[in-house]
Structure 1
Amino acid sequence: MTSPDIGRRRLLFTTGALGALGATAAIPSSGAPGPRRKWGAAALVVHNARVLTGEPGAPPREAIAVGRDGNVLATGPSAVVRRHAGRDTEVVDAAGATVMSGIVDGHAHPVGAAVRSLKLSLEHRSFTVDELLDTLRGHLTEKDERGGGEPDGWLEFVDWNPVGLLPAGTVPHHRLLAALPTRRPVALLGADGHVAWVNQRALDLAGITRGTPDPPGGTIVRDPDGSPTGLLKDDALYAVTRQIPGPEGDRLHTACARMFARAAAQGVTSFLDAACTDWELGVYAALASSGRLPQRIATALRLDPEEVADPPEALSWLRDARKEFGDIPKVSVRTAKVFLDGVIEHPTQSAALIDPYLDGDGRLTGRRGDLFADAAAFGRLAVLLDRHGFQLHAHAIGDRAVRTALDGYERALRANGPRGNRHTVAHLQLVHPDDLPRFARLGVVACMQLQWAVRNAWTVDALLPYLGERRHRLLYPARSLERHGAVLAGGSDWPVDPLAVWNQIRTAVDREGTAAEQGALHPGLEGLARAAALRMHTEGAARQLRIDHRVGRLTPGRAADLIVLDRDVTRIPVREIGDTQVRLTLVGGRTVFDAETEEGKAVRADSVLSSLGSSAPPVSSASPASPVSAASAVSPASAGPGPYADRHRACGCPRTAGRGTTARL
Structure 2
Amino acid sequence: MTRTLFHNGTVWTGTGTTAGALSIRDGRIEALGAEAQARPADEIVDLQGGLLLPAFGDGHCHPDHAGFEAMGPRIRDRGSVEEIVEEVRRYAAAHPEAEWIIGASYDATLAPGGMFDARWLDAAVPGRPVVLRAWDYHTVWCNTEAMRRAGLDAATPDPPRGAFARRDDGELLGMMFEWDAVDAVLGAAPARTTADLVRALAIATEAYAAAGVTWIQDAWVEHRAIEAYLEAARQGLLATRVNLGLRADPERWRDQLAEFAADRERVRALGGDRLTANTVKFFVDGILESRTASLLAPYSDDPCTRGMPLWPYEELLEALTAVDKMGLQAHLHAIGDAGVRAGLDAIEHVTAVNGPRDRRPVIAHVQVLDEADLPRFAELGVIANLQPLWARTDPAMTELTIPRIGAGRAARQYLIGSLLRAGAHVAFGSDWPVTDHRPLAGMPVAVTRENAEREPAGGWLPEERIDFDAALSAYTAGVAYQAFAERERGSLSPGKVADLVWLDRDVRQMDPHDIADRSAVRGTWLAGTRTFISPERSGI
Shared fold per TM-score greater than 0.5: yes
Task: Note the C-alpha offset of 1:112.
Answer: 1.8
Task: Note the C-alpha offset of 1:510.
Answer: 0.4
**Secondary structure class of the residue paired with 2:198:** helix
Alpha-carbon distance in 1 for matches of 2:65, 2:304: 36
Q: Match of 1:257?
A: 202
Larger CA deviation: 511-520 vs 414-423:
511-520
Q: Which of 73, 81, 97 lines up with 1:120 in the alignment?
A: 73
**Secondary structure class of the residue paired with 1:577:** helix
Matches within 5 A, 1:250-649: 252-307=197-252, 310=253, 312-328=254-270, 329=272, 330-345=274-289, 348-359=290-301, 365-514=303-452, 521-578=459-516, 579-596=518-535
Alpha-carbon distance in 2 for matches of 1:108, 1:407: 25
Task: Note the C-alpha offset of 1:234.
Answer: 1.2
Q: Which of 9, 15, 18 lines up with 1:60 in the alignment?
A: 18
The one-letter code sitting in structure 2 at the alignment partner of 1:244 is A
Residues 75 and 104 in structure 2, CA contact (< 8 A), matched pair in contact too: yes
Q: Match of 1:650?
A: none
Deviations 1:571-627 (A, max 9, x none): 3332333332111110001011111379x89xxxxxxxxxxxxxxxxxxxxxxxxxx
Q: Which of 183, 189, 206 lines up with 1:244 in the alignment?
A: 189
2:93 matched to 1:155?
no
Query: In percent, how many aligned pairs have the same letter?
Result: 32
Residues 444 and 513 in structure 2, CA contact (< 8 A), matched pair in contact too: yes
Q: Match of 1:74?
A: 31
Q: Match of 1:172?
A: 116
Task: Note the C-alpha offset of 1:223.
Answer: 4.9
Cα 1:316–1:214 shift into 2, 3 Å: farther
Q: Match of 1:102?
A: 55
Alpha-carbon distance in 1 for matches of 2:83, 2:240: 41
Alpha-carbon distance in 2 for matches of 1:291, 1:316: 28
Larger radius of gyration: 1
Deviations 1:98-121 (A, max 9, x none): 110000100111122111211212
Task: Note the C-alpha offset of 1:246.
Answer: 6.0
Residues 293 and 308 in structure 2, CA contact (< 8 A), matched pair in contact too: yes
Cα 1:112–1:171 shift into 2, 3 Å: closer
TM-score scaled by length of structure 1: 0.75
The one-letter code sitting in structure 2 at the alignment partner of 1:475 is Q
**Secondary structure class of the residue paired with 1:547:** coil
Q: Which of 185, 189, 196 lines up with 2:140 in the alignment?
A: 196
Residues 478 and 490 in structure 2, CA contact (< 8 A), matched pair in contact too: yes
Residues 454 and 515 in structure 1, CA contact (< 8 A), matched pair in contact too: no
Task: Note the C-alpha offset of 1:326.
Answer: 2.6
Residues 271 and 298 in structure 1, CA contact (< 8 A), matched pair in contact too: yes
Residues 197 and 225 in structure 2, CA contact (< 8 A), matched pair in contact too: no
**Structure with the larger RCO, 1 or 2 (CA within 8 Å, 6+ apart):** 1
Cα RMSD between the aligned structures? 2.6
Task: Note the C-alpha offset of 1:531.
Answer: 1.1
**Secondary structure class of the residue paired with 1:342:** coil
**Secondary structure class of the residue paired with 1:462:** helix
Q: Which of 67, 76, 85 lines up with 2:40 in the alignment?
A: 85
The one-letter code sitting in structure 1 at the alignment partner of 2:204 is M
Matches within 5 A, 1:125-136: 125=78, 127=80, 136=88
The one-letter code sitting in structure 1 at the alignment partner of 2:11 is V
Alpha-carbon distance in 2 for matches of 1:200, 1:253: 31
The one-letter code sitting in structure 2 at the alignment partner of 1:393 is H
Deviations 1:518-562 (A, max 9, x none): 666524221112111110000101111212221101112211000
**Secondary structure class of the residue paired with 1:468:** helix
Q: Which of 154, 176, 181 lines up with 1:232 in the alignment?
A: 176
The one-letter code sitting in structure 2 at the alignment partner of 1:64 is L
Q: Match of 2:8?
A: 48
Deviations 1:483-528 (A, max 9, x none): 1111000001111113232120111110125377766652422111
Cα 1:454–1:520 shift into 2, 3 Å: farther
The one-letter code sitting in structure 1 at the alignment partner of 2:242 is I
Deviations 1:22-65 (A, max 9, x none): xx6xxxxxxxxxxxxxxxxx62122333111111x3x2012212
Cα 1:368–1:305 shift into 2, 3 Å: same
Residues 189 and 197 in structure 1, CA contact (< 8 A), matched pair in contact too: yes
Alpha-carbon distance in 2 for matches of 1:496, 1:131: 19
Q: Match of 1:143?
A: 95
Alpha-carbon distance in 1 for matches of 2:92, 2:226: 33
Cα 1:206–1:525 shift into 2, 3 Å: same
Residues 454 and 520 in structure 1, CA contact (< 8 A), matched pair in contact too: no
**Secondary structure class of the residue paired with 1:49:** strand
Alpha-carbon distance in 2 for matches of 1:521, 1:314: 44
Residues 450 and 508 in structure 1, CA contact (< 8 A), matched pair in contact too: yes
Q: What 5-or-longer segments of structure 2 have no aligned partner?
A: none
Q: Match of 1:604?
A: none
Task: Note the C-alpha offset of 1:175.
Answer: 4.6
Residues 108 and 114 in structure 2, CA contact (< 8 A), matched pair in contact too: no
TM-score scaled by length of structure 2: 0.92
Larger CA deviation: 168-177 vs 105-114:
168-177
Cα 1:355–1:515 shift into 2, 3 Å: farther
Alpha-carbon distance in 2 for matches of 1:331, 1:456: 35
The one-letter code sitting in structure 2 at the alignment partner of 1:61 is A
Cα 1:358–1:267 shift into 2, 3 Å: same
The one-letter code sitting in structure 2 at the alignment partner of 1:115 is F
Larger CA deviation: 394-403 vs 208-217:
208-217
Task: Note the C-alpha offset of 1:171.
Answer: 4.7
The one-letter code sitting in structure 2 at the alignment partner of 1:320 is A
